[in-house]
Copies of this chain bind each other. A is one copy, B any other.
Amino acid sequence: MVAERAGTSIATVSLVVNGKDRGRVSAPIASRVRDAVDELGYVVDHAASSLARGTGDLVVLIAPDLSNPFFAEVIRGVRDTLGDRYQLVLSVTERGAQPSTADLRRFERLRPAGILVDAPAAGESLDASVPVVLLDAPDAPESAVTVDYDLSPGIDELVAHLREQGHEHVVYLDGTARVATFGIRHRMFDGACAAAGITVSELGARADLTVDAAAAATEHAIEAWHEDGVTAVVAAADTLAYGVLRVAGAMGLRVPEDLAVAGFDDLPSSSVTAPALTSVALPGAELGRAAALRLLAALDGTAVEPVALPARLVRRASTGG
């Protein structure tokens, strides 16, 4: 520990550096230490520090592949809320994979202060030796600390809107990811359609969460959809809906006259697609913010109550909205 050049002991330096010097170290010595620290550009070693105290100041956020810009929003929300008492690091899973218990284990080694897991794989236990908060994990056990969306207002609005526009037979384009929230979106959508007197085609397809994959799936199915009398397709994510739009455009179909399209997420780019996309808005930054607040509370030992952020519909041209 180089900074003992201040002419004092290692212990005293540690106290000053960690701001625990109030009433323990005299002012002149403390400032002498601070000067030495500045001059030498000293910075406490994270490994040694977290070994000694058993835990560090890292917060790790485990998220699925970032190609969905939705996660960028979540991350921003977490970042902005965490402040600089904690250092946020991110880990992304492999493309198409969801965060799992194995990922959690890998990061427990780092002795983080806490772990945030976004859109975890369904049916994982996801417990750890440090505080964990789960984002967008509607199937999590009661005991888990979670932050979720309340999808029903958004989905109800969407289905009511489709009904108003005269749609009676629609199809659902699902994601392939094994995430609970996708299952719920699908089920709630089916339920809302049944209640509204809209039938959902048996010809539902699924695709990876990329524009290309969705376009391929759409190309494969669109003929059959047409023959089945489908007039609207609802996609589990905006990126999927983009693929539908691309294929419809390439085939010369008019949206929404020949085929209406809607998605989930309301990504920033959804206002500039051709045509602009109707979408169930899922406020990512707010999800991140709420999750970070709950982690902070858990770290402070404060009680936390469950959160469900309401989703709402954003109507745009792709459904004649």
Give A49 Cβ to nearest chain B Cβ, in Å.
8
Contact A106 B87 (CB under 8 A): yes
Given A69-B72, A94-B79; A105-B242 close (CB under 8 Å): no
Which of B44, B75, B79 meets A109, CB within 8 Å? B44
A residues 50-99 near B (Cβ < 8 Å) are 50-51, 56, 58, 60, 65-67, 69, 71-73, 75-76, 79-80, 87-92, 94-95
| Range class of the A interface residue count | 35 or more
Task: Give the contacting residue for A72; candidates B51, B66, B88, B269; CB below 8 A.
Answer: B66
A47 contacts the other chain (Cβ, under 8 Å)? yes
CA distance A75 to B67 in the complex (A): 9
20 A-B contacts (beta carbon < 8 Å): A46-B47, A46-B109, A46-B111, A47-B48, A47-B56, A65-B76, A66-B72, A66-B76, A67-B268, A72-B72, A75-B92, A80-B94, A80-B95, A89-B91, A90-B90, A90-B91, A90-B92, A245-B272, A246-B272, A273-B274
Name the residue of chain B whose CB is nearest to the CB of A73: B67
Q: Which residues of B contact A271 (CB under 8 A)?
A: 211, 246
B89 touches A89 (CB 8 A): yes
Which residues of A249-296 have CB atoms within 8 Å of chain B's CB atoms? 249, 268-269, 271-276
Q: Do the beta carbons of B79 and A92 come within 8 Å of each other?
A: yes
Does A43 count as interface, using CB distance less than 8 angstroms? yes
Q: In the assembly, what is the distance between CA of A75 and CA of B63, in Å?
A: 13
Known: A46-B110, A66-B72, A66-B76. 5 other contacts (CB 8 A): A45-B111, A66-B75, A79-B92, A80-B95, A269-B273
Q: What is the minimal beta-carbon distance from A248 to any residue of chain B, in angstroms?
A: 10
CB distance from A51 to the nearest CB of B (A): 4
B89 and A76 contacting across the interface, CB-CB below 8 Å: no
Known: A43-B105, A91-B89, A273-B274. Is A67-B60 also a contact (CB below 8 A)? Answer: no
